Amino acid sequence: MHPVMQLAINVIVGRKEAVGVSGQEIQNTVLEEIMKRIIIFVLVVAALLSAGCTGDKGKELFETAQFEEKQHNIPHAVQLYEEIVKKHPKSEYAGKAGERLAELKKEK
């Protein structure tokens, strides 16, 4: 167990094993340790949430569908365009996806 945490437990349960250290010093040390851990936790969560996430799934799907078209993988492109229209109807790419679907279906 971390020494600071053990010290905090001792203080909480009323042990006087913290000889030569005032209660205020113990409290400050414990609070500093807790704050460090909270800051690290918040930074890790923020990094995980922002890593590789643009927040615009419609755009990501549209760009992937365009790539699939260029690779002549039309069935997968159609599937992606349909997903945009169904799952992201309010995205600015829903209209573009609908247009591409109509064009691809004409070409069949």
- Structure confidence by residue, pLDDT tens digits, 47-87: 766 655 556 889 999 999 999 999 999 999 999 999 999 99
Same domain, 86 and 103: yes
pLDDT at residue 12, as a whole number: 65
Tell me the mean pLDDT in the region 93-100. 96
- Based on the fold, state whether residues 68 and 27 are members of the same structural domain: no
Q: Is 60 exceeded by the pLDDT of residue 11?
A: yes
Q: Does the model's pTM come out above 0.85? A: no
Backbone dihedral angles phi then psi of residue 72, each to the nearest 5 degrees: 65, 30
User: What mean pLDDT value characterizes the chain?
Assistant: 82
* Residue range of the domain that includes 21: 3-50
Instruction: Judge if 36 and 10 occupy the same domain.
Output: yes
Helix axes 92-107, 57-70, angle to 10 degrees: 20
- Residue 69 has a pLDDT of 95
Whether 61 and 41 map to the same domain: the answer is no
Q: Are residues 36 and 73 in the same domain?
A: no
**Where does the chain have alpha helices with state H?**
3-12, 23-50, 57-70, 74-87, 92-107
Domain identity same for 38 and 74: no
